[in-house]
């Protein structure tokens, strides 16, 4: 595997609900709604975790952190991302870069994008320039457009140690 390059893709979606904090890329956003989920429901980090695990053919986030385990209730997805980095390393892989996209109508995230990139880079031991976070809307269409949820997509490249 030494020097071998692989690419993985991840996707996640969560419903917006009252009474939950909104956490995206490890950043708390002041917003009237948050994402429903067992952990902190950070849809961006979940998509990145799945992209990394997929690249290494190591399953998905649910296989490693089951949503019926109390150990992971309300856990920060930054901790899960860090653990994914360790799982990859233990399997002979290291992340090379991550490209991700949030799909949401609100809130605006542009002021916090660099902090999200720093959070992801720190947990994966990457340079911040190897991490991309972008955002787009769904132009008012579908469950995202009506403000019912947020989705994220990610692509990750890994290299064999």
Assigned fold of 5-160: 60s Ribosomal Protein L30; Chain: A; (3.30.1330)
Kindly report the average pLDDT of the chain as a whole number.
97
For range 150-155, the mean pLDDT: 98
Q: What pLDDT was estimated at residue 1?
A: 77
Q: Where are the beta strands (DSSP E) in the chain?
A: 5-17, 22-24, 27-29, 34-35, 93-103, 131-136, 149-160
Chain centre to alpha carbon of residue 145: 20
The per-residue pLDDT for range 51-103, each reduced to its tens digit, is 999 999 999 999 999 989 999 999 999 999 999 999 999 999 999 999 999 99
Helices (H), 5-135: 43-55, 61-64, 77-90, 113-124
Q: What pLDDT was estimated at residue 118?
A: 98
Domain ranges of the chain: 5-160
Judged against a pLDDT cut of 90, whether residue 29 lies above it is answered with yes
Judged against a pLDDT cut of 90, whether residue 133 lies above it is answered with yes
Chain centre to alpha carbon of residue 70: 20
The per-residue pLDDT for range 49-64, each reduced to its tens digit, is 999 999 999 999 999 9
């Amino acid at each position: 595997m030494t020097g071998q390059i692989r690419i993985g893709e991840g996707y996640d979606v969560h419903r917006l609900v009252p009474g939950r904090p909104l956490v995206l890329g490890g950043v708390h956003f002041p917003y009237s709604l948050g994402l429903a989920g067992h952990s902190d429901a950070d849809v961006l980090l979940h998509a990145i975790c799945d992209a990394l695990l997929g690249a290494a053919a190591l399953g998905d986030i649910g296989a490693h952190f089951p949503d019926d385990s109390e150990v992971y209730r309300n856990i920060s997805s930054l901790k899960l991302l860090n653990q994914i980095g360790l799982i990859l390393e233990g399997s002979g892989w290291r992340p090379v870069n991550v490209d991700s996209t949030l799909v949401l109508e609100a809130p605006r995230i542009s002021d916090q994008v660099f902090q999200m990139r720093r959070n992801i880079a720190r947990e994966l031991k990457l340079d911040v320039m190897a991490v991309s976070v972008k955002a787009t809307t769904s132009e008012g269409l579908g469950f995202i457009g009506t403000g019912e949820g947020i989705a994220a997509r990610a692509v990750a490249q890994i290299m064999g140690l």
